[in-house]
Structure 1
């Protein structure tokens, strides 16, 4: 078995790994549930490589991610459910159907028009799925449960906004954030952890909604904030080490002083 640029080789390798006669014992033990976390993890690693602009790493991570649908399709094929060809057919059919302005006669003059067409087709797909199930359905049914909570909050509020269940503008949404913050303050004074958790959840949901109203992806915003905090805290650690002070012994006043140094440097555009 030799590596190849042809995806059929990847499919062959996956089949060999899952072959009961001579396959990999670990791969043979896996099922859809045990692999699902790896699928999510690989997607995050792709995003991380993009964030770092490490395109050599991105190539490798995209390969790891590509393995996941091949892996799932192999297991499905073994059970007679579907194979990788069915997966490819489904996505190509969906892309053609969702882009009538490209592959059909409908016209979309700009990106906004194309997005409107996409949303229109998706809404029709949800309606057809509901009819097929012959059961009551919700606009929120196909927002994945496994999304990071902040990203899911943004998608839930976006879906609700599609039927005008939304604040008129970001000013009203910001007022809601302030209202939820006040409720967190009140709950914190009761020492009722369950209530505090509930109100904090409401505050985070309102913040995600505000981000959407401002055209910001909350998950991306928080990821950037995490990166900024990490960079600044490393500066604090370096300053403490340069002064010969252990972090645990430095005290809040000294550490806050280091923190304010890097904040001031950031504001001034220094390095």
Structure 2
């Protein structure tokens, strides 16, 4: 089977390539992989897609979506080899789900707002399950801040929530105080820090801010400003570690004016 750059291709070609790679005359590395061994790549490719979106680089986004699609095709191929399901089952499943969960588009339901759509979506999800799942059914592999927000959202939907943001702010103050107490005794610092972070995520939720995105933005800002310090040290031909803290602070403040 030969593939050349520039030829017209379809999704079937990707499926065929994966079958060849996993076949008897295929690639030794590809043939050795399992769902468990490659799951880290699924996470990595997902984050690279997110990076491309943040960078507004459509060429990179196209490439990264292809890498992500490869991972999905890889998992589907391994499942087919073991007699579980194939890629067509994956596609049929999501097609059926999208039609079923959009009764306002593909049926006679009358939903006019995004809020109504989300409520109906959750109702249909509950109806699809053979047995009710716990209210706080959130994947454990989500990033911690994102998972905290999802847990709080699900609890809020059944009425377990502060009546307004003041309750959330009070909880932040309470947890900060408990962390300071723990610092003084040296006992339970990790637990109290976790409680404080959870409370801050709750406050962010009331403010309508995605805590995960907010922290990522803060990370990017820190990198930009620290990189400026590095560039100034390089321009002066001085090793970074030989700059005094006062000099670093001066450059940091200059960077703040440049990269707001």
The TM-score normalised by the length of structure 1 is 0.89
2:53 is equivalent to residue 50 of structure 1: yes
Distance in 2 (CA, whole Å) between partners of 1:220 and 1:129 is: 35
Identify which range, 97-106 or 181-190, moves more after superposition. Answer: 181-190
Aligned to 2:171: 176
Aligned to 2:21: 17
Shift of 1:209: 1.6
Aligned to 1:138: 134
Relative to structure 1, is the Cα distance of residues 123 and 217 closer, same or farther in structure 2, using a 3 angstrom cutoff?
A: farther
2:101 is equivalent to residue 98 of structure 1: yes
Aligned to 2:204: 211
Distance in 1 (CA, whole Å) between partners of 2:130 and 2:245 is: 57
- Structure 1, unmatched stretches of 5+, are 132-136
Distance in 2 (CA, whole Å) between partners of 1:108 and 1:90 is: 24
Distance in 2 (CA, whole Å) between partners of 1:70 and 1:241 is: 46
Question: What root-mean-square deviation, in Å, do the aligned CA atoms of Structure 1 and Structure 2 show?
Answer: 1.5
Aligned to 1:2: 3
- Structure 2, unmatched stretches of 5+, are none
SS of equivalent residue, structure 2 residue 98: helix
The TM-score normalised by the length of structure 2 is 0.93
CA contact (8 A) 2:221 2:259 kept: no
Aligned to 2:186: 191
Relative to structure 1, is the Cα distance of residues 200 and 190 closer, same or farther in structure 2, using a 3 angstrom cutoff?
A: same
Match of 2:76 among 41, 60, 73: 73
Q: Could you report, residue by residue, the CA deviation over 1:9-48 in whole angstroms, capped at 9, with x for unpaired residues? A: 00000001111x2111111111111111111111110000
Distance in 1 (CA, whole Å) between partners of 2:217 and 2:203 is: 17
Aligned to 1:223: 216
Moved over 4 A (4+): none
2:164 is equivalent to residue 164 of structure 1: no
Aligned to 2:120: 117
CA contact (8 A) 2:225 2:259 kept: no
What is the number of equivalent residue pairs in this alignment?
256
Shift of 1:69: 1.3
Distance in 2 (CA, whole Å) between partners of 1:24 and 1:265 is: 50
Relative to structure 1, is the Cα distance of residues 239 and 100 closer, same or farther in structure 2, using a 3 angstrom cutoff?
A: same
Distance in 2 (CA, whole Å) between partners of 1:7 and 1:265 is: 46
Distance in 1 (CA, whole Å) between partners of 2:40 and 2:167 is: 38
CA contact (8 A) 2:179 2:189 kept: yes
